[in-house]
Amino acid sequence: MIPESFEYLAPKTLPEAISYLQQYGDDAKILSGGHSLIPMMKLRLTALSHIVDINGIPGLEYIEESDGFLKIGGLTREVALEDSALIRDKYPILLDTAKMIADPQVRNIATIGGNLAHGDPANDHPATMISLDARIVATGPNGTRTIGISDFFISLFETALAPDEILTEIRIPIPPAGSGGAYFKLERKVGDFATAGVAAQVVMNGDRCTSARIGLTNAGDVPINASGAAYSLVNHSPDEAMISAAAKMAADESEPTEDLRGPVDYKQAMVKELTKRALRRAIERAKGGQ
């Protein structure tokens, strides 16, 4: 289908973009990669009077470590994560995640900021950002504010971003020594959204787990923080039985709904299995394995 007509705006600075958002309110939206927004407009699930394309604003695409954080610019493309030596060497969970998103054509254009700002629980980055305890930097008329990832996803397609705010940066605390993470996703075919996905991040001191976080993809109306499952591992030396028990808890914390990808009990069984795999790989990586 063809979208309803709209006015296209191409600001060159953040203040200019924000002033458009203030001016047009709920009738305007940011365009980043356009790979979620344009399909929704073409399906007429979203009708807007104005599109604010931020691709011409310099300085929003970067991946760098500073001040104790991995900082990723909001407009950074998925392909940049795939190509980054820093991500490959120090943040393999982010490489796992980016590589599972859609296909290379989509990943060349789609942005990490858009993936989070869209508020779609089927997107892959939200669960990973939950496991990494990320912070979202939002820039609006009153400057910037930082939102913890646990407070970011409000409901289906709704985030804590105000209509006149732009997601400008994602900050991930640099993991301490002994950290490891992994993302596993089940998809019906390559390029599909997740039937279920699990991100796990752990810190190990020898065989003892000192910290764990688990995020779930497409397992509820919002990306889910499976905190009970994660806490069950802390201050223990996770063996197969403990990993299995944590995986069962993650499945119990999930709230999937039946759809074309399967019934609820199947999806919860997949959450359980993927949690086991993600935890095993995360622990292995934390201990120095790949």
Ligand X SMILES: Cc1cc2nc3c(=O)[nH]c(=O)nc-3n(C[C@H](O)[C@H](O)[C@H](O)COP(=O)(O)OP(=O)(O)OC[C@H]3O[C@@H](n4cnc5c(N)ncnc54)[C@H](O)[C@@H]3O)c2cc1C
What residues line the site for ligand X (CB under 6 A)? 29-37, 39, 74, 101-102, 106, 110-111, 113-115, 117-118, 123-124, 161, 166-167, 191, 193
Shortest distance in whole angstroms from residue 203 CB to ligand X: 26
Comparison of 101 and 198: residue with beta carbon closer to ligand X? 101
Task: Tell me the closest approach of the beta carbon of residue 246 to ligand X, in angstroms.
Answer: 25
CB of 178 to ligand X, least distance (A): 29
Q: Min. distance of Cβ 53 from ligand X in angstroms?
A: 9
Judged by beta carbon, residue 98 or residue 203, the one nearer ligand X is: 98
Dmax (CA) for the chain in angstroms is 60
Q: Which is nearer to ligand X, 63 or 283 (CB)?
A: 63
Q: How far is the CB of 267 from ligand X (least distance, A)?
A: 16
252 vs 101: CA distance, rounded Å: 26
Residue with Cβ nearer ligand X (104 or 263) = 104
Report in angstroms how near the CB of residue 283 gets to ligand X at its nearest.
25
Please give the residue whose beta carbon sits closest to ligand X in the complex.
Answer: 114
Q: Cβ closer to ligand X: 37 or 182? A: 37
**Shortest Å distance, C-beta 226 to ligand X:** 18
Distances, alpha carbon 76 to alpha carbons 2, 31, 133, 151, in Å = 28, 13, 19, 22
Please identify, using beta-carbon distances, which residue of 128 and 232 lies nearer to ligand X.
128
By C-beta, is 32 or 179 nearer to ligand X?
Answer: 32
Long-range contacts of 225-230 (CB under 8 A, 24+ apart): 225/130, 225/150, 226/250, 226/253, 226/254, 226/275, 227/253, 228/252, 228/253, 229/253, 229/275, 230/200
